[in-house]
A and B are shown apart, each in its own frame.
Chain A
Amino acid sequence: MLHLDMDSFFASVEEKLNPRLKGKPILVGGTERRGVVASANYAARPFGIHAGMPMAEARRLCPHAVFVEGNPQKYVHTSLQFLDVLKSFTPAVEPFSIDEAFLDLTQVPYPGRPSPEERDPAVILDSAIPVAHAIQRAVQRRVGLTATIGIAPNKYIAKMASGVQKPRGLTVLTLERYRERFWERGVQELWGIGEKTKEALAKLGIRTIGQLAKFPREFLTYHFGLNGERMQEAALGRDENPVIPYYEGVPVKSMGHEITLSEDVSDKEALKAQLLRLSDMVGRRLRADGYLGRIISVKIRDSKFRTTIRQRALPEVVDDEHEIFHTAALLLEEHWDGRPLRLIGVSVSGLVSAAGHYQHSLFGQDEHRRKLLEAVDSLRDRFGETSLVKAGVLR
């Protein structure tokens, strides 16, 4: 398996389009006063700047950096270009995010590929190095950007491998090499483990990845449920998940939107207006992609960066923003204590395909409502998202 990660993607796209930025520290992100850094190039990193950092702090650390307002269409266009390059090597390409993809080379005949009888994992993985180099060269030649690649026996280790050496890196990790390299390191280095989980694991005396790998599983399951099992599998470097080729589509688990507010907000009606806008965006996306969901979540982050996520399961699956908003507003009422908020978000999970659902409820009592939503969607498809805006959002 290969994991390809484009190097400081958004910043590199800006640098490619505007060659005069070459060598300068570049920060891409929101230009609002409280936006965050979405991407920083390698010239900006020595100043301690990293993605996710508040833009104001990045500006303070590196006042001479170039600030560029992020432009999703530009990055999606380039993302499709590098995916095209990858597809010329194998059809088994799984886009993982706008700047990452997994490739399965097991079914691809390439020069130097060992015979099926070969059992040494190092020999098998090392044989893919020339292919990885060819991919890096092709991406550079046809897209004008650099990429880092990890090669491993499974997706999880490949993802960890691509983080070892950046930019333009190429790292091969067998299961044995993965354990040698990572087991002595802190659990936070595992992909998917954040600060809170690190603290929770520390309470059990688990600080390194090796300790997590060897911890009695029943205790992990007791404390973390299914997630405990998953974390231990990750620590062990086990991952049975196949690459899901782009043409099969990746199953969507949730859809959501969140917004960092331009200033801290403690006015309930203003927060509800944001919830309405976000619910509208989520509902629209659910319907556009043909999904319905049953679990509504609200995420809030206060001015001290304390994050709370609360969710509620509905009796029926929905894709109607009014129902999403109604539940989201109730969650806010119940779980927000009035402290000023800097971020608010809404998401819907527990998704099912809409196609099967509508076959059962074609003549249900909500048919009138459905027709209204279809009419609104159709107008927005034709005239753009801002052609119809809910009055409650205009505060």
Chain B
Amino acid sequence: MVHANSFPKASDGYFMIESIHDPIEVITMFGNGKMRPIRFRWKNKIVKVAKVTGDWVRHEGQNKIHYFALLADSSDYYEICYNAKDMTWQLTRVWMEG
């Protein structure tokens, strides 16, 4: 589901990072006390992660939401998050140019 707001869309001639809150399935590698997304499925499309460019955490009460900024093989940019409480992944932002 694309988050609806009055903000301009790329189709209007604006560039923007789109806020999305779609559930995704993620293959993750765990090691050295960290987790690293390897690839994920979004709308039946498999996205291979080329590089994790950053990560951060948001606290929601005692629960932690882990965020990852990713560059895909296609060089598209994604932000995904892992909700530790209900063990679900979500795609939160995407940047696809052109």
The answer on a CB contact under 8 Å between B61 and A383 is yes
With A and B bound together, what is the CA distance between A163 and B32 in angstroms?
Answer: 41
One digit per residue, 1 when the CB lies within 8 angstroms of any chain A CB and 0 when it does not, for chain B 1-30 equals 000011110000111110100000000000
With A and B bound together, what is the CA distance between A17 and B15 in angstroms?
Answer: 17
A56 to chain B, nearest CB (A): 10
How many chain B residues touch A (CB < 8 A): the figure is 28
Residue numbers in B under 8 Å from A52 (CB-CB):
none
A66 to chain B, nearest CB (A): 4
With CB as the reference atom, state the residue of chain A lying closest to B51.
A19
How many chain A residues touch B (CB < 8 A): the figure is 31
- Of A17, A20, A67, A384, which contacts B7 at CB under 8 A? A67
Residue numbers in B under 8 Å from A13 (CB-CB):
54
A-B contact pairs, 14 of them (CB 8 A): A13-B54, A18-B77, A19-B71, A20-B75, A20-B95, A20-B97, A31-B5, A31-B7, A31-B19, A59-B8, A67-B16, A68-B16, A382-B62, A383-B60
The answer on a CB contact under 8 Å between A64 and B15 is yes
One digit per residue, 1 when the CB lies within 8 angstroms of any chain B CB and 0 when it does not, for chain A 245-274 equals 000000000000000000000000000000
The answer on a CB contact under 8 Å between B62 and A66 is no
With CB as the reference atom, state the residue of chain A lying closest to B78.
A18
With A and B bound together, what is the CA distance between A16 and B71 in angstroms?
Answer: 11
Question: Beyond A17-B69, A18-B77, A33-B6, is A68–B17 a contact (Cβ under 8 Å)?
Answer: yes
With A and B bound together, what is the CA distance between A31 and B53 in angstroms?
Answer: 24
Question: Beyond A73-B57, A74-B56, is A18–B19 a contact (Cβ under 8 Å)?
Answer: no
The answer on a CB contact under 8 Å between B61 and A59 is no
- Of A77, A384, A387, which contacts B57 at CB under 8 A? A77
